[in-house]
């Protein structure tokens, strides 16, 4: 049976909410998405101080405890008003975010995605980076 929940950390931009929800449901085979929003989430996760990061991670952990979410999607997009940087910088920040969170959420599959533009056909993201927790079999063999 697929996970019923995943968690997504995404921009407040309303143009990406529905397309991201549809993408995640199709690609992750989940029924529900717990959503945490911040303007320019990849920049926030890559650069925020530890106290602020702890607050954001507590939101992810609530989703994990209450709903059994084992997957976190970090989603960025071009033309972001909260993080007006180049597409390459968005991708860099997504990779930095993933690396920073992987150590703090060791049993979580984390997927960083980026959409090049928003508008009518907003969400056709590329997966920038992904980390999966070690399988139970690999841990048992170690």
Residue ranges per structural domain of the chain: 5-141
Predicted local distance difference test score (pLDDT) of residue 133: 80
Q: Cα(first)–Cα(last) distance of the chain, in Å? A: 27
Cα–Cα distance, 64 to 69 (Å, whole number): 4
Closest CA to 94 of 119, 49, 126, 62: 126
In this prediction the pTM is 0.85
Predicted local distance difference test score (pLDDT) of residue 78: 84
pLDDT average per 10 residues of sequence, the chain (142 residues)? 81 86 87 94 95 96 95 91 92 93 92 75 66 63 44
Cα–Cα distance, 38 to 20 (Å, whole number): 15
Predicted local distance difference test score (pLDDT) of residue 20: 85
Predicted local distance difference test score (pLDDT) of residue 73: 95
Read off φ and ψ for residue 138, nearest 5 degrees.
Answer: -65, -40
Q: Are 98 and 112 in contact (CB under 8 A)?
A: yes
Cα–Cα distance, 111 to 127 (Å, whole number): 7
Instruction: Tell the CATH superfamily of the 5-141 domain.
Output: Carbonic anhydrase (3.40.1050.10)
């Amino acid at each position: 049976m697929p996970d019923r929940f995943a968690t997504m950390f995404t921009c407040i931009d309303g143009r990406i909410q529905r397309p991201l929800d549809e993408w995640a449901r199709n690609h992750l085979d989940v029924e529900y998405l717990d959503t945490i929003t911040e303007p320019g989430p990849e920049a926030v996760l890559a650069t925020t101080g530890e106290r602020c990061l702890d607050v954001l991670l507590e939101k992810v952990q609530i989703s994990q405890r209450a709903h059994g979410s084992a997957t976190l999607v970090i989603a960025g997009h071009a033309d972001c008003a909260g993080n007006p940087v180049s597409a390459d910088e968005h991708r860099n920040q997504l990779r930095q975010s993933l690396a920073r969170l992987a150590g703090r959420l060791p049993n979580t599959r984390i997927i960083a995605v980026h959409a090049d533009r928003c508008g009518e056909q907003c969400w056709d993201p590329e997966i920038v980076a992904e980390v999966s927790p070690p399988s139970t079999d690999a841990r048992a063999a170690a």
